[in-house]
Structure 1
Amino acid sequence: MIYLAKRVIRQTMNDKRSVMMIIVAPLLILTLVYFLLGDSDYVPTVGINQHAIKASIVTSLKAQDLKVVNISNNHVQHAKHYLMDHQHVDAVFNLDKNSGMEITLYEASKKGAKAASEIQKAMAALNPSAKINISYVYGKQEASTFDTLGYVFLALFSFFLVFIISGMALVRERSGGTLERLLMTPIKRSEVILGYTLGYSVFAVIQAVLIVFYSIFVLKLSSVGNIGWILLAMVLLAVTAVSYGAMISVFASTELQLVQMIPFTIIPQVFFSGLIPLDLIPYHLGDLCYIMPIYYGAAAIKAVMVYGDSFFQIWGYLLGQISYALLLFLLNTLALKKFRQL
C-alpha cells in the first residue's frame, strides 16, 4: 500500500499539468474572483439639477460615495436619452412633485446598483420613509436574473460545450492514430485543420441555433433585437470555440490532459463574458477581454438582446470573432507541425 502511494505521488509530481492544476489553478482562479467580485473603489456618477433640488438633498448626496454632476432640467426630464448619450453617468436623480423621487439607471449592473444604493442612503438620512422609484433605459426593475444575464449563459454554454467536444475528439483522433494515417496521404496540415473545423462546426451551428430558439421561445428570455443577429453572433462564437478547442488539443496527448487545461483556458474567460463590468476590474485587467474569444461573442449577443442594436453597431464584435477564428486556424496549423512532427 505504501509503495503504491509513493508511486502515485511520483507520477503526479512528474506530471506538470497535474501539479499546475492542483497548486497553481486554484490560486489563479481565486485571484481572479477576488479582483472581479471583491470590493471595488469605483465611485458612481449621478446627474442632478442642483437648482431644482433643495440644498440639504444636494449636500446629503455629496456626502455619500458619489460623484455629483450638475445637469440641466431638460436632461433630467429626459433622463433616458441623456444616459444613452452620456454613458459615463451611471444614474440621474430627480425630485418630482407628482411622482416623487426618481432614479433612472442605464441598465441593471453592478455600477448602477451601487449608484442607486448610495442615493438611497442619502435620502434615508433625510427621510427614512421616503419612497424612490427606479427605472432603466434598458431592462426593467422586475426582470429576473435570467433575463438580466441570459446573454452570458448563451455564450458560456455554447462556447464551453463545443470546446470540450471538439477538443476531446481531436485528441482521440491523434491518440488512435487516425490523424497520423491521414497525414501520410498528400493532404496538407492546413487542410486537415480546416476539415476538422468545418466538420465540427456543423454540429456547433446546430447547437447554437437550438440554444437561441429554445431560450427565447420556450424559456421566454427577453430580447429586444433581431434574432437573426443573435444567431449570427452565436454561430461565429461556436465556430471560434471549435478552433479554440482544436488549438488547445494540440498540446494534450490524452483527454485527461485536455480537461486539466480547462482552469487555464476556459474559467478565466467566464469572468470576461459580461458577468462583471470590465471597467470595475482593478489594475486595468479588464483590458484582457480583448484576448478572450468569448468576449466578442458575448458583447455582440448583449448588444442585440439588451440594447436592440443592429449590424451597424455590432459589426466590430463580429469582425473580432472572424479575426480570432482565422488567427486560431493559423496557430493550429503551425502548432500541429511543431508539436506533432507528423
Structure 2
Amino acid sequence: MMNLAKRVILQTLNDKRSVMMILVAPLFALTLIYFLLGNSSYVPSVGINKNTMPVPLVTALKAQDLKVVNVSNNDAQHAKHYLKEHKNVDAIFTISKSSGTTITMFESSSKGAKAVNEIQKAMTSLNPSAKVKMSYVYGSQGESTFDSLGYVFLGLFSFLLVFIISGMALVRERSGGTLERLMMTPIKRGEVILGYTIGYGVFAIIQAILIVFYSLYVLKLSSVGNLGWILAAMVLLAVTAVSFGAMISVFASSELQVVQLIPFTIIPQVFFSGLIPLDVIPYHLGNLCYIMPVYYGVAAIKSVMLYGDGFLQIWGYLLGLMAYALLLYLLNTHALKKFRKL
C-alpha cells in the first residue's frame, strides 16, 4: 500500500502540469477573483433635476457615494431616452406628482444596483418609509437571473464545451500517431489546420444552433433582437473555440493536460464575459477583455438579445471574433512546424 502511494506521489511530482494544477491554479484563480471582485473604486452616477428636487434630498444625495449630475426637467421626464444617449449615467432619479418617486436605470446590473442602494440610503435618512418605483430601459423589475444573464451562459457553455472537445480530440490524434502519419503526406500545414477546424466546426455550429433554439423556445429566454444575428455570433464563437482548443492542444500531450490548462485559459475568460460590468473592475483590469474571445461573442449576443441591435451595432464584435479565429489559424499552422519542417 505504501509503495503504491509512494509511486503515485513521485509520478505526480514528475508531472509539472499536475503540480501546477494542484498548487498554482487555485492560487491563480483566487488572486484573479481578489482583483476582479475586490473593493471597487467605481462611483455610480445619478441624474436629477435639482429644480424639482427638495433641497434636503439633494444634500443627502451629495453626501452619499454618488456622482450627482444635474439634468434638465425635459431629460428627467424622458429618462429612458436620456439613458440611451448618455451611457455614463447609471440612473435617473425623479419625483413627480403623477408618477411618484422613480429610479430609472439602463438595465439590471451591479452598477445600477449600487446607485439604487445609495439613493435609498439618502431617502431613508429623510423618510424611512419612502417607497421607490424601479424602471428599466431594457429588461424589467422582477425578472429572473436567467433572463438577465442568460446571454452570458449561451456564449460560455458553447465556448467551453467546444474547446474541451476539440482540444482533447486533437491531442488524441497526436497520441495515436494519426497526425504524424498525416504530416508525412504532401498535404500543407494550413490545410491540416483548416480541415480539422471545418470538421470539428460542423459539430460546433450544430451545438451552437441547438443551444440557441433550446434556450429561446424551450426555456423561454427573452430576446428582442433578430435570431439570425444571435446565431451568427454563436457560430463565430464556436468556430473560434475550435481554433482555441487546437492551439491549447499543441502544449498538451494528453487529454488530462488539456483539462489542467482550463484554469489558466478558460476561467479568466468567465470573469470578462459580462458577469461583471467591466467598468467597475478595479485597477483598469476590465481592459483585459479585449484579449478574450468570449468577450466579443457574448457582447454581440447581449447587444442583439437585450438591446435589439443589428449588424451596424455588432459588426465590431463579429470582426473581433473573425480576427481572433484568423490569428489562431496562423498560430496553429506555425505550431505544426515541430511535426514537419515543410
TM-score (norm 2): 0.98
Identity of matched residues, %: 77
Q: Which residue of 1 aligns with 2:293?
A: 293
Q: 1:76-115 residue pairs with structure 2 within 5 A? A: 76-115=76-115
Q: Which residue of 2 aligns with 1:21?
A: 21
RMSD: 1.2
Q: 1:1-342 residue pairs with structure 2 within 5 A? A: 1-338=1-338
- Does structure 1 retain, via aligned residues, the 8 Å contact 2:101–2:132? yes
Letter of the structure 2 residue corresponding to residue 104 of structure 1: T
- Does structure 2 retain, via aligned residues, the 8 Å contact 1:45–1:67? yes
SS of the residue corresponding to residue 39 of structure 2 reads coil
Letter of the structure 1 residue corresponding to residue 99 of structure 2: S
Instruction: Name the CA distance, whole Å, in 2 between partners of 1:129 and 1:330.
Output: 63
Bigger shift: residues 228-237 or 185-194 = 185-194
Cα distance, 1:282 vs structure 2: 1.2
Instruction: Name the CA distance, whole Å, in 2 between partners of 1:261 and 1:337.
Output: 22
- Does structure 2 retain, via aligned residues, the 8 Å contact 1:250–1:339? no
Instruction: Name the CA distance, whole Å, in 1 between partners of 2:31 and 2:88.
Output: 28
- Does structure 2 retain, via aligned residues, the 8 Å contact 1:76–1:92? yes
Cα distance, 1:339 vs structure 2: 6.7
Letter of the structure 1 residue corresponding to residue 181 of structure 2: R
Cα distance, 1:40 vs structure 2: 1.8
Cα distance, 1:292 vs structure 2: 0.6
Instruction: Name the CA distance, whole Å, in 1 between partners of 2:339 and 2:61.
Output: 61
Instruction: Name the CA distance, whole Å, in 2 between partners of 1:12 and 1:32.
Output: 26
Cα distance, 1:28 vs structure 2: 1.0
Letter of the structure 2 residue corresponding to residue 263 of structure 1: P
- Does structure 2 retain, via aligned residues, the 8 Å contact 1:57–1:122? yes
Cα distance, 1:284 vs structure 2: 1.3
Instruction: Name the CA distance, whole Å, in 2 between partners of 1:97 and 1:127.
Output: 17
Letter of the structure 2 residue corresponding to residue 289 of structure 1: C
- Does structure 1 retain, via aligned residues, the 8 Å contact 2:180–2:339? no
Instruction: Name the CA distance, whole Å, in 2 between partners of 1:172 and 1:145.
Output: 38
Letter of the structure 1 residue corresponding to residue 249 of structure 2: S
Letter of the structure 1 residue corresponding to residue 74 of structure 2: N
Provide runs of 4+ in structure 1 moved above 4 Å. 339-342
Instruction: Name the CA distance, whole Å, in 1 between partners of 2:209 and 2:26.
Output: 34
SS of the residue corresponding to residue 306 of structure 1 reads helix
- Does structure 2 retain, via aligned residues, the 8 Å contact 1:91–1:115? yes
SS of the residue corresponding to residue 337 of structure 1 reads helix
Cα distance, 1:96 vs structure 2: 0.7
Instruction: Name the CA distance, whole Å, in 2 between partners of 1:275 and 1:39.
Output: 17
TM-score (norm 1): 0.98
Instruction: Name the CA distance, whole Å, in 2 between partners of 1:33 and 1:132.
Output: 33
Letter of the structure 2 residue corresponding to residue 330 of structure 1: L
Gaps of 5+ in 1: none
SS of the residue corresponding to residue 222 of structure 2 reads coil
Cα distance, 1:341 vs structure 2: 6.4
Letter of the structure 2 residue corresponding to residue 166 of structure 1: S
- Does structure 1 retain, via aligned residues, the 8 Å contact 2:155–2:297? yes
SS of the residue corresponding to residue 101 of structure 2 reads strand
Instruction: Name the CA distance, whole Å, in 2 between partners of 1:260 and 1:137.
Output: 42
SS of the residue corresponding to residue 223 of structure 1 reads coil
Gaps of 5+ in 2: none
Cα distance, 1:110 vs structure 2: 0.5
Instruction: Name the CA distance, whole Å, in 1 between partners of 2:15 and 2:199.
Output: 32
Instruction: Name the CA distance, whole Å, in 2 between partners of 1:181 and 1:41.
Output: 56
Instruction: Name the CA distance, whole Å, in 1 between partners of 2:95 and 2:339.
Output: 66
Instruction: Name the CA distance, whole Å, in 1 between partners of 2:331 and 2:229.
Output: 28
Letter of the structure 1 residue corresponding to residue 83 of structure 2: L
SS of the residue corresponding to residue 252 of structure 1 reads coil
- Does structure 2 retain, via aligned residues, the 8 Å contact 1:251–1:339? no
